Structure 1
Amino acid sequence: MSLLPRTAEEFSSAEYWERFFKKRGEKSFEWYGDYNKLCGVLHKYIKVQDTVLVVGCGNSELSEQMYDVGYKNLTNIDISETVVSHMNQRNAERRPGLTFQQVDATQTPYEDASYQATLDKGTLDAMASEEEGALARSMLTEVGRVLRVGGRYVCVTLAQESVIRLAVEHFVQLGWAVRMHCLQEERGKEEDSFALPVFVLVCTKFRQPMPTPILEMCLGEDGAPTRLTQVAELLSAVREHQAYSVLRKRLRTGTDACSNLSLTLCHVKTGLPRYTLTVQDSPPGAKVPRQHQFAIFIVPQGSETAWLYSSSEGRKQLAASANFRRLVIVAMHRNQEYTDMLAVQSELSPVVMDLAPPGIPANQQVPFLSVGGDLGWREEVSRGVSELSGEYCVENVKGEDGQLYRRLVFLSNAALVQSESRLVPTNTPSSHKKKTKKKVKPTAAPTASPASLSVDSGFLCCAHHEVMVASLAMLGVGTPQSKDVPLSVLLVGLGGGGLPQFLRDFVPNVTVEVVELDPMVLEVAKEWFGFRPDDRLIVTLGDGLERISALEEEGGRLFDVIMFDVDSKDSTVGMSCPPAAFVQSSILQKVCKLLTPRGVFALNLVCRDSALRKSVLERVSAVFPTILSKSIEEEVNEVLLCSRGESQASDAARIHPSLHGAASSLQTALCANRPATSTGPHIDIAELLKDLKVE
């Protein structure tokens, strides 16, 4: 039969503890650790000569060990008659000055201000579970009464949120100073320890209540205190330490190739996120060299959102290529300064062994891996706040291909690049070189200053944009028959304006209307991404759904191509692009009515939920008889190319030959129509139209 409580309420029951100690007998019960674990913090706050009241002492050896090292003024109380009798008998000869009394901690007989310290190991946790904390509040009131000015309540606790909130709020209201110590388990002892860390709450009584709360958090017994301003911040810090301790034990006692565990390390002084660490284990049975047990991979600045580092599939591929039993992938955060690789290694070295796999010695040398041994380069050029999308930043980064790129990132989802363009020196013809996945060592800084850089309008950074452009081949754009035939495009979603500007600059006879909900996005596109509307490229500010409905109601205007490239702000659903409302049957039917007979509907779909994707496809196919899909390599994106006409092809093998000639014609037309200021377009239509799938 288990001697541990079955329910929380039993902790505060006198009958439970009476049964507990009778069954346990002579064996001491060291709740939350013994003297050896706690002595450092106890000696810090309780002097040897202090008069100390130990509440809920149980049959712990803690008071006996403190007595043996010089604490002779200890008064131990417990609600259990059995344990008090046993402890008095056990210490009668060896420790005659150590007294144990059967006393209810909520109603003590001691005079006001009669003790210099009160020591509590687990009693607060036991009492706080009963009667919505009424017993605990009564005990804390007694603690405050019997302590002298300058006295301390030292409480060893697991810091369950409801318990610690009760105690901290109680003493803050009294104007006391409150400090929390998180005692981490020693490395190598995780297998025998609690998953949750032990905390020590230290509350100091002042003569005059403090008008402003003093709240502090310390890591370890000697850690420097971090000052906090609100109780909620202290509780949050406690939760973070608890989560880290659970994660640490999980990592040090087992491996799991599918877990994708991650944690964020913050700057000690500012509290801002500095590193995000993601753990990737090798699958069971993987042939890993004996010397390849554990390594740290530093992601270059500006590459955090790349598929290889940001997706579960990409990290698995990275770990497989590195071939270590455990690979910790480290991403650096914006608004933080990093000197060089050596400094980053030095900063991370003290904590990485917490994440080591089972069996790794504490003094193991851990290799740090990187791309070319460089930290990469990132420069923020603008920051602002959108009323619709929140805080954003525009930044220049150096890609792993050595090229410079400009990005728009909404900080509410910093792992997602909202828009990206390649930069080239102003008035210098852009290179024909297409972005490559080959990793080369980048230089530490750009060769041109930001002021002398401009956006390369012939280069599309997003692969799904390239597929959308390639879909124009389905309309025969560029063929002799299409010469001088106008082409109208409706695009929902502006971003940095790269896609609509490419269409305007390179596609013959095209007019483009872009619908953008956020006015700030338009301003950013103009200021930082070289977006220049004109009579062939107009922007309508407003809701895309409302614009589609209005166009359908007005009638008389049709489009050859309608493109949806808009992301969802709701991260709770399994589809991040487009918002669910854009693929409802009623909207899809309106889109269909707005297309010319030859028209194509191009939908950028990002959906990780297979059931949800199936539902979307069913709705789209109910409106559009022909649907072709193109999955983006190393991305979650796929592009659905939908047309109104019945398809005569039942499989992709019949589609590719019919598109081959059209792809060549479109390629020729794009090159012939390019503006004089660009050497683009950097796009291969035939390659993009390979591997189309009939849905």
Structure 2
Amino acid sequence: MSLLPRTAEEFSSAEYWEKFFKKRGERAFEWYGDYNKLCGVLHKYIKVQDKVLVVGCGNSELSEQLYDVGYKHLTNIDISETVVNHMNQRNAERRPGLIFYQVDATQTPYDDASYQAALDKGTLDAMASEEEGALARNMLTELGRVLSVGGRYICVTLAQEGVIKLAVEHFVQLGWAVRLHCLQGERGTEQEDSFALPVFVLVCTKFRQPMPTPILEMCVGDDGAPVRYSQICELLSAVREHQAYSVLRKKLRTSTDPGSNLSLTLCHAKTNLPRYTLTVQDCPPGTKVPRSNQFAIFIVPRGCETAWLYSSSEGRRQLAASANFRRLVIVAMHRNQEYTDMQAVQSELSPVVMDLAPPGMPTNQQVPFLSVGGDLGWREEVSRGVSQLSGEYCVENVRGEDGELYRRLVFLSNTALVQSESRLVSSNTASSHKKKNKKKPKATAAPSSSSSSLSVDSGFLCCAHHEVMVAGLTMLGVGMPQNKDIPVSVLLVGLGGGGLPQFLRDFVPNVMVEVVELDPVVFEVAKQWFGFCPDDRLTVTLGDGLERICALEQEGGHLFDVIMFDVDNKDSSLGMSCPPAAFVESSFLRKVCNLLTPKGLFILNLVCRDPALRKSILECLSSVFPSILSRKIAEEINEVLLCSCGEKDAAHILPFLNEAAKNLQSALFSDRIGHKGRPHIDIAELLKDLKVE
């Protein structure tokens, strides 16, 4: 390690290389691999009869090995007099035709168009740091001059961002064709001190007339099929992906870390679209694992990717523990990709997943594929569109692990999060559909019914936090005999698919609901695909929830029994994904309180991963509301906060909730509302784990 330069600038210094080669002596220094690693690509682009200019040759054995297999027209140049003298002496007897010259690659004495190939192994990387890349550009310009039409500049490089960008932009401006080969090492061949980054070979071809449209291509390996890109930024992005994968692969081969949650995305070779996302989960140190259980692949059924067990770090740890393998790779399939069957998926993944095997595992060991039910699951996209506020979205039908059909709204900017979900039933059996049984999965074949014959079961709330928000109405005494004719007014910020407000309208007696929704596209999707049907008891106001509440408070005369917040946060930089930070500021919460009746209730769906931020939010809530109860959602980050205006001691509320729960449960099943369906909710069960904050 002491022979490597201390700073990047030293790479381009002639003095540095003089000292380097004097200190190293006769030992060959092979930047980025030897002939055996590079010969596949070199023979592909350099003919034996070609005149080849080898720039920055150093004391590498590459020219000697090329000479030995028939390449007799090699001109080797280097800036170091020491290395040139040494290489000439070393080859004088065995290779009399192999000559080395002390020449500056930025200003050579050779004629225009006098070479068919220029071979560079690491020299561009060494020079690119000097004078903001000016030295490297001078070298590339000089090599372009000495190359003939059809000639190629072939550069072995680590393709670090500034280096590869400089070279690609240079040759694209000249109208040359640009192709990159990514040479990933074979499993088990890396040494502990080898480069974590993959080696690339940049091949730039000179044309008689500049290409009007850039030719930009990437190949994996010596002879991988080229993938073409239309813009330089796309090619550079592909380079970064390969580098990230290589770093990840090296890390996984040399260490284990149960808390790292490392993941990578594999793209389709032809379309470059994401096809699989692989997440690596290791068992904690000291876990007793059978010797044969070193490594396994778990295929997540389509439609189940967002389940807690597969999408959360806690769930994946639990899955790995139950599988009892030293390392488990959890594979999720992507939307808009075709998958034939489980066997085809296994065949596609088999050559790749061994790169992710734990350190020390034999290369010939069998790796089992695990799954639920043995097939790929089922997913059907029924609609796709774009919201100006939230980006591209899709509506899809999926079959859950419980065998039931569900409809989901997913914004593609965050495919791991289901924005809204409803259960589907056959239209002619909607009124008699029973509650789902999670313990008895059904077959996962595609349903025979078409989407048009399916309807949303409005009596079923897919989101557990929605069930708790409904159960929270017991704090108002909703459903109690003495309150049976008293109307209940609800202001709900956040529509989604409309499942929660429609449940309130259809099953809670005497309720009037106003929903505030910012995104008109979401409103249309709710009506078209989630059975949402507003009426005189369920109205929708399109606009900003913050502005609506401020306007209502300023107008005066508006009081609600319940105000609910169920709105997501688009700012991913915070440790809180629901609600936006402005919704829980003290000044705004006071406006919320002013809009509630004296015994009114504020219900907040909070999704906060930052303990300090959660504590701050609770302090703001406590400064406004006399009592707060919380209910965490099992296996989720969500928690529901029930904030009361009327009760100063939240502990006094708990003893009365059991009786109130029975009354609300009875009221939900009342036939006087005239709704044909039946609610699927257990109020008493939902209130068991309330906690006083």
TM bin (shorter chain) = over 0.9
Aligned positions of 1:530-541 closer than 5 A: 530-541=531-542
Aligned positions of 1:187-266 closer than 5 A: 187-192=187-192, 193-266=194-267
What secondary structure is seen at the aligned counterpart in 1 of 2:50?
A: coil
Deviations 1:154-211 (A, max 9, x none): 1111111111111111111111111100011111023342100111011111111111
Q: State the one-letter code of the partner of 1:524.
A: V
Aligned twin of 2:366: 365
- Offset of residue 435 of structure 1: 3.6
Aligned positions of 1:8-23 closer than 5 A: 8-23=8-23
- Between stretches 231-240 and 424-433, larger displacement belongs to 424-433
Aligned mate of 2:656, from 644, 653, 658? 658
Partners of 2:458 and 2:677 within 8 A in 1: no
- Offset of residue 677 of structure 1: 5.0
What secondary structure is seen at the aligned counterpart in 2 of 1:629?
A: strand
- Offset of residue 647 of structure 1: 3.2
- Offset of residue 436 of structure 1: 4.2
2-structure distance, mates of 1:658, 1:76: 91
Aligned twin of 2:413: 412
2-structure distance, mates of 1:433, 1:377: 22
Aligned twin of 1:384: 385
Aligned positions of 1:329-368 closer than 5 A: 329-368=330-369
What secondary structure is seen at the aligned counterpart in 1 of 2:191?
A: helix
- Offset of residue 305 of structure 1: 0.7
- Offset of residue 674 of structure 1: 6.8
Aligned positions of 1:563-602 closer than 5 A: 563-602=564-603
Aligned twin of 2:52: 52
- Offset of residue 63 of structure 1: 0.7
Q: State the one-letter code of the partner of 2:300.
A: V
- Offset of residue 359 of structure 1: 1.4
Q: State the one-letter code of the partner of 2:641.
A: L
What secondary structure is seen at the aligned counterpart in 1 of 2:620?
A: helix
Partners of 1:429 and 1:677 within 8 A in 2: no
Partners of 1:400 and 1:438 within 8 A in 2: no
Partners of 1:432 and 1:682 within 8 A in 2: no
What secondary structure is seen at the aligned counterpart in 2 of 1:23?
A: helix
Q: State the one-letter code of the partner of 2:689.
A: D
What secondary structure is seen at the aligned counterpart in 2 of 1:401?
A: coil
Aligned positions of 1:563-642 closer than 5 A: 563-642=564-643
Aligned positions of 1:414-563 closer than 5 A: 414-431=415-432, 433-438=434-439, 440-563=441-564
Distance 1:674 1:138, change over 3 A: farther
- Offset of residue 338 of structure 1: 1.1
2-structure distance, mates of 1:665, 1:553: 36
- Offset of residue 427 of structure 1: 3.0
Q: State the one-letter code of the partner of 1:658.
A: F
Partners of 1:597 and 1:644 within 8 A in 2: yes
Q: State the one-letter code of the partner of 2:140.
A: L
Aligned twin of 1:282: 283
Q: State the one-letter code of the partner of 1:607.
A: C
2-structure distance, mates of 1:73, 1:331: 52
Aligned twin of 2:155: 155
Partners of 1:456 and 1:678 within 8 A in 2: no
Residues 1:32 and 2:35 aligned together:
no
Partners of 1:74 and 1:98 within 8 A in 2: yes
Aligned twin of 1:86: 86
CA RMSD of aligned residues (A): 1.3
1-structure distance, mates of 2:680, 2:133: 68
Aligned mate of 1:691, from 683, 689, 692? 689
2-structure distance, mates of 1:674, 1:15: 93
Identity, % of aligned positions: 83
Partners of 2:509 and 2:673 within 8 A in 1: no
Partners of 2:430 and 2:455 within 8 A in 1: no
User: What's the TM-score once normalised by structure 2's chain length?
Assistant: 0.98
- Offset of residue 675 of structure 1: 5.1
- Offset of residue 570 of structure 1: 1.0
What secondary structure is seen at the aligned counterpart in 2 of 1:194?
A: coil
- Offset of residue 412 of structure 1: 1.2
- Offset of residue 554 of structure 1: 1.1
2-structure distance, mates of 1:308, 1:493: 27
Partners of 2:219 and 2:225 within 8 A in 1: yes
Residues 1:67 and 2:59 aligned together:
no
Q: State the one-letter code of the partner of 2:661.
A: A
Partners of 2:626 and 2:649 within 8 A in 1: no
- Offset of residue 448 of structure 1: 2.2
What secondary structure is seen at the aligned counterpart in 2 of 1:427?
A: helix
Distance 1:579 1:288, change over 3 A: same
2-structure distance, mates of 1:123, 1:647: 75
What secondary structure is seen at the aligned counterpart in 1 of 2:666?
A: helix
Q: State the one-letter code of the partner of 1:119.
A: L
2-structure distance, mates of 1:320, 1:203: 50
2-structure distance, mates of 1:329, 1:443: 20
Partners of 2:299 and 2:371 within 8 A in 1: yes
2-structure distance, mates of 1:481, 1:459: 28
What secondary structure is seen at the aligned counterpart in 2 of 1:491?
A: strand
2-structure distance, mates of 1:649, 1:541: 35
- For structure 1, the residue ranges without an aligned partner over 5 or more in a row are none
- Offset of residue 252 of structure 1: 1.1
2-structure distance, mates of 1:686, 1:646: 21
Partners of 1:656 and 1:690 within 8 A in 2: no
Deviations 1:585-644 (A, max 9, x none): 111001111111111100000000111111111101110110000000011100000001
- Offset of residue 484 of structure 1: 0.5
- Offset of residue 441 of structure 1: 4.5
- Offset of residue 389 of structure 1: 1.3
Distance 1:199 1:231, change over 3 A: same
What secondary structure is seen at the aligned counterpart in 2 of 1:200?
A: strand
Kindly tell me the number of residue pairs found equivalent between the two proteins. Answer: 692
Partners of 1:629 and 1:641 within 8 A in 2: yes
1-structure distance, mates of 2:475, 2:203: 72
Partners of 1:466 and 1:688 within 8 A in 2: yes
